[in-house]
Structure 1
Amino acid sequence: MSSSAAAFLVRRALSAPPVFLRLRRPPSLFYSSLASSPSSFPSPARAAVPLSSARVSSFTPLRFASSSSKVSADDTLKRVIDSEIDCVVQSDDPIREVDLPDGFPFEIIDNPGDQTVVLKRELAGETIEATVFMNYDEEQDLNEDDDDDDARDDGHDESSIKPTISLVVTIQKGEGPFLEFCCNFNDDKLEIESMSIKKRDDPDAQNAYEGPEFSDLDESLQAALRRYLEARGIKRSMYDFLHEYMINKDEREYLTWLKNMKEFIEK
């Protein structure tokens, strides 16, 4: 898949803000402030304590507190991870294999650890690939819209809203240029966001003419391009299967992610 398609995926994927840890500086040792204030020198009895001993006694409690805090935080995290794993495993909708629909024409390439899957088929000298991912950003936008009174009056139920399935479809013939479609799939229709012709030796050429916006094309041309995809197996009837498959994959990947995190914490 070209880097432009990968960039499309990155823009659509969820992003979580990084967590920054603020480290507090240890308090200054008492003797550093005494040097600038002669009138506050300690009594001879205190002054007899070697400076190195004062340094050890000041830092030892800090080291002990830091180690104790780390153990406590690790134990808490492990308990929370175990609880979350139990919730996933004992869910009312357990992780299971999703059956392929009858006559499904694509091979499914599903690599563990990836957030996407690839559909692939060969048809009459063409190689058709579709990189599929769940677009949760669209689901969030729909949920926000449903907070409006008008949406509630229309009978929309938040539990019935399904996220958009997004695809980057490439159609290749031999070693020459190929077509790339960026699409959104929902339970009503297949929407094409963009279509471009890519050069295999330079798929991300900066100055290449990519045609007008898809929505600006003549409606008959838009309809013909949708039919072109449908003839190659990219049909709106795939939505229910892809939705179920991607929800299942998300659960599997989440469970594996939790187990990997637990394994790291326990080392």
Structure 2
Amino acid sequence: MALSNILKRSASRFAPLIFNHKNLRHNHHQATALFAAVSDRASGMSRNLLQRSFPSSLHHYSTKPSSDESLLRVIQSEIKCAVESHEEEQVEEVPQGFPFKIENHHGQQTITLTRQYQGETISVEVHMPDIITGAEDDADDSNEEGEESASQPSIPLVIQVSKRSGPCLEFNCTAYPDEIAIDSLSVKDPEAAEDEIIPYEGPDFSDLDENLQKAFHKYLEIRGIKASTTNFLHGYMVDKDSKEYITWLKNLEKFIKD
């Protein structure tokens, strides 16, 4: 009986300790869960605050705009088509006996031809060809000759013939496959300032006496400005146009990528 009372008293002393131990474990789990919940909430609030404070910056540095990606794909597709088309074109070889030295201005719309002829310097600025697609071919027959010339591909030329000193002759011409038309002729002083008053440049070339017109055509032909020269130049400039277009597309691609 005494032993039984001793055991009961011992149990009664340890019971609060056991109870407190269980409560401690329970409270620990609750505290851990509460801390995790508070941390998640604080983290979420921080992200929301950051997005509200710097929304455009986060968007800018995270992804490239979809419109830029679409444009880049179209440009790259066009580069591929342009390169394939250029590879199929026949490369224009400089013909044997071509009298001019060719200076190609990369990234520009022109090339320059130069040569020396009996103490004269002949310089020709050749522009990109005007390619006619034939969309404007429908017109009445009252001006068939003019329409035939207008429907042909052509190359604009600016020709200067100068001597060791003094003024030079400048011809503005349009070169067609079988003929070279002189549009204007002027006498210029190469040393004159550009802001000086424009001097008298003579009448329109087409208003000159027919024999005088023919004589000037022969004058240019002797100096190398003839149909065989300009026909080669047409193919050369078409090839240059293709190359410049590809370079232009690649510059666009680089800009969009960067």
* TM-score between both structures, scaled by the size of structure 1: 0.67
SS of residue paired to 1:104: coil
1:255 alignment partner in structure 2: 246
Q: Distance in 1 between matches of 2:240 and 2:174?
A: 19
Q: 1:87 aligns with which of 81, 102, 120?
A: 81
Q: 1:239 and 2:219 equivalent?
A: no
Q: Alignment length, in residue pairs? A: 205
1:194 alignment partner in structure 2: 184
Amino acid of the structure 1 residue aligned with 2:100 = F
Distance change >3 Å, CA 129–CA 203, structure 1 → 2? farther
Amino acid of the structure 2 residue aligned with 1:213 = D
1:99 alignment partner in structure 2: 93
Q: Distance in 1 between matches of 2:140 and 2:204?
A: 33
Q: 1:109 and 2:100 equivalent?
A: no
Q: Distance in 2 between matches of 1:180 and 1:266?
A: 45
Identity %: 44
Contact 1:95–1:251 (8 Å) recurs in 2: no
SS of residue paired to 1:181: strand
Q: 2:113 aligns with which of 112, 119, 140?
A: 119
Q: 1:133 and 2:127 equivalent?
A: yes
SS of residue paired to 1:183: strand
Contact 1:179–1:195 (8 Å) recurs in 2: yes
Q: 2:205 aligns with which of 181, 204, 214?
A: 214
SS of residue paired to 2:155: strand
- Structure 2, unmatched stretches of 5+, are 1-47
Distance change >3 Å, CA 62–CA 149, structure 1 → 2? farther
Contact 1:88–1:94 (8 Å) recurs in 2: no
Offset, 1:237: 2.0
Contact 1:108–1:118 (8 Å) recurs in 2: yes
Amino acid of the structure 1 residue aligned with 2:103 = I
Q: Deviations over 1:74-129 (max 9, x none)?
A: 11111111101110122275356421112110001002101111111011111101
Contact 2:129–2:234 (8 Å) recurs in 1: no
- Structure 1, unmatched stretches of 5+, are 1-52
Contact 2:167–2:189 (8 Å) recurs in 1: yes
2:28 alignment partner in structure 1: none
Amino acid of the structure 2 residue aligned with 1:71 = P
SS of residue paired to 1:129: strand
Amino acid of the structure 1 residue aligned with 2:117 = L
2:165 alignment partner in structure 1: 175
Q: Distance in 1 between matches of 2:217 and 2:63?
A: 59
SS of residue paired to 1:113: coil
Amino acid of the structure 1 residue aligned with 2:226 = K
Q: Distance in 2 between matches of 1:109 and 1:92?
A: 21
Amino acid of the structure 1 residue aligned with 2:79 = I
Amino acid of the structure 2 residue aligned with 1:80 = V
Distance change >3 Å, CA 223–CA 174, structure 1 → 2? same
Offset, 1:208: 0.9
The structure with the largest alpha-carbon Rg is 2
Contact 1:130–1:168 (8 Å) recurs in 2: yes
Amino acid of the structure 2 residue aligned with 1:130 = V
Greater per-residue helix proportion? 2
Offset, 1:229: 0.4
* TM-score between both structures, scaled by the size of structure 2: 0.69
